[in-house]
Amino acid sequence: MAKEGYLNLLPVQHKKSKEPGDSRAMMRSRRNFLEAEYYLPMAKAIAALIDKNKTESSPMHILDMGCGEGYYSRQIEAFCENSADLDLHGIDIAKNAIFAAAKKQENARFIVASNTRLPYADNYFDLLLRVYAPSNDDEVKRILKSEGLLLTVTPGPRHLWQLKEFIYKKVNEHDITVDLPEGFKEIESQRISYTIKPDQDHRMALLQMTPFAWRAKGEMLNNIQKATGLEIETDFILTLAKSE
Ligand SMILES: C[S@@+](CC[C@H](N)C(=O)[O-])C[C@H]1O[C@@H](n2cnc3c(N)ncnc32)[C@H](O)[C@@H]1O
């Protein structure tokens, strides 16, 4: 147990690299961008879905898988109606992310571990959250109660369209098929779309936290940086699913 209150359960022999998960630079960018609240409407939609689907069990056990710096876990605590009755957990393979998450939220428990080997008992969780994060189907099925819910956030068709216009000659809509574990069916889906106007620093931070960051080099990068008053569409799909 680290003094910041998190557990590090990723033994050296299970680390595939020295710094597993997202790099420090990527995390810094993400923290910088998310804390400026550009994604707050999506985070509030997550909280509203949790409220709407509050289970009978008290407390309701929730795990954010691949939680990064814990932004969504903090928003759940801030915006869910009955947050005192939520037992919030977050795991990520990146130690630095968990360090930052644990420092910012005393009322949640954070663990450095991999989604492929989760340190939780069978049938423990009422809801699992995956926001742009990988997961392992067998582990999802194992730790989720039989009536438990899986809430997945993925990019919608037009997510970050105007940023992509700088990078690709022809921008294609995002494929919106959501990967659900076998035997799970969708029970509700919501599309949240709105426009943001990040300042120059936040625009660069947003770029750095996306998978297409590595393509934006040289003049392309300059153009993105210099563009004044650029408005960017965000587009998210929230999918709530449960075991059939
Ligand atoms: C795109 S980021 C999303 C982070 C966070 N959910 C958010 O939206 O701010 C993906 C996260 O998954 C983590 N990750 C990657 N592989 C993982 C694994 N096998 N187990 C747990 N976390 C993992 C990364 O370290 C990173 O923090």
The predicted structure's pLDDT at residue 14: 66
Q: What DSSP designation does 198 have?
A: -
pLDDT tens string 178-225 = 999 999 999 999 999 999 999 999 999 999 988 888 888 888 899 999
CA–CA gap between residue 62 and residue 89 (Å, rounded): 6
Tokens of 103: 């420092």
The predicted structure's pLDDT at residue 236: 98
Average pLDDT over residues 108-127: 96
In angstroms, how far is CA 39 from the centroid of its own chain?
11
Which of the four pLDDT bands, split at 50, 70 and 90, describes residue 147?
very high
Q: Is the CB of 92 under 6 A from ligand 1?
A: yes
Which of the four pLDDT bands, split at 50, 70 and 90, describes residue 13?
low
Average pLDDT over residues 125-141: 96
Per-residue pLDDT for 15 more than 80? no
User: CA-CA-CA-CA torsion for 134, 55, 34, 118, nearest 10 degrees?
Assistant: -30
Q: Is the CB of 156 under 6 A from ligand 1?
A: no
Ordered by where they begin, the domains of the chain are 21-157+171-193+234-243 (3.40.50.150)
How many Cβ atoms from other residues are within 10 Å of residue 182's Cβ? 9
Per-residue pLDDT for 241 more than 90? yes
State the chain's mean pLDDT as an integer. 93
Q: Is the CB of 124 under 6 A from ligand 1?
A: no
The predicted structure's pLDDT at residue 22: 80
CA–CA gap between residue 107 and residue 122 (Å, rounded): 23
CA–CA gap between residue 237 and residue 206 (Å, rounded): 18
For the entire predicted model, the pTM comes to 0.95
CA–CA gap between residue 108 and residue 215 (Å, rounded): 36
- The percentage of the chain sitting over the pLDDT mark of 70, rounded to a whole number, equals 98
Which atom of ligand 1 is closest in space to residue 209's alpha carbon?
Answer: 1
- The percentage of the chain sitting over the pLDDT mark of 90, rounded to a whole number, equals 81
pLDDT tens string 19-74 = 777 888 888 999 999 999 999 999 999 999 999 999 888 999 999 999 999 999 99
Q: Name which residue sits closest to atom 17 of ligand 1, judged by CA.
A: 93
Distance from residue 229's CA to the centre of ligand 1 (Å):
30
The predicted structure's pLDDT at residue 188: 96
Q: Is the CB of 94 under 6 A from ligand 1?
A: yes
Residue 152 near residue 185, CB atoms below 8 Å: no
Probe target for ligand 1 pocket from 8, 23, 115, with the most ligand atoms within 8 Å of CB: 115
The predicted structure's pLDDT at residue 212: 81
Helix ranges (DSSP H) in the chain: 24-34, 40-52, 71-79, 95-104, 137-143, 161-167, 200-208, 218-226
The predicted structure's pLDDT at residue 41: 98
Whether residue 20 is preceded by a cis peptide bond, meaning omega within 30 degrees of 0, is no
The predicted structure's pLDDT at residue 171: 92
Q: Is the CB of 38 under 6 A from ligand 1?
A: no
Distance from residue 65's CA to the centre of ligand 1 (Å):
7
CA–CA gap between residue 164 and residue 180 (Å, rounded): 27
Per-residue pLDDT for 232 more than 70? yes
For 195, phi then psi, to 5°, come to -105, 140
CA–CA gap between residue 14 and residue 17 (Å, rounded): 9
Q: Is the CB of 116 under 6 A from ligand 1?
A: yes
Per-residue pLDDT for 16 more than 90? no
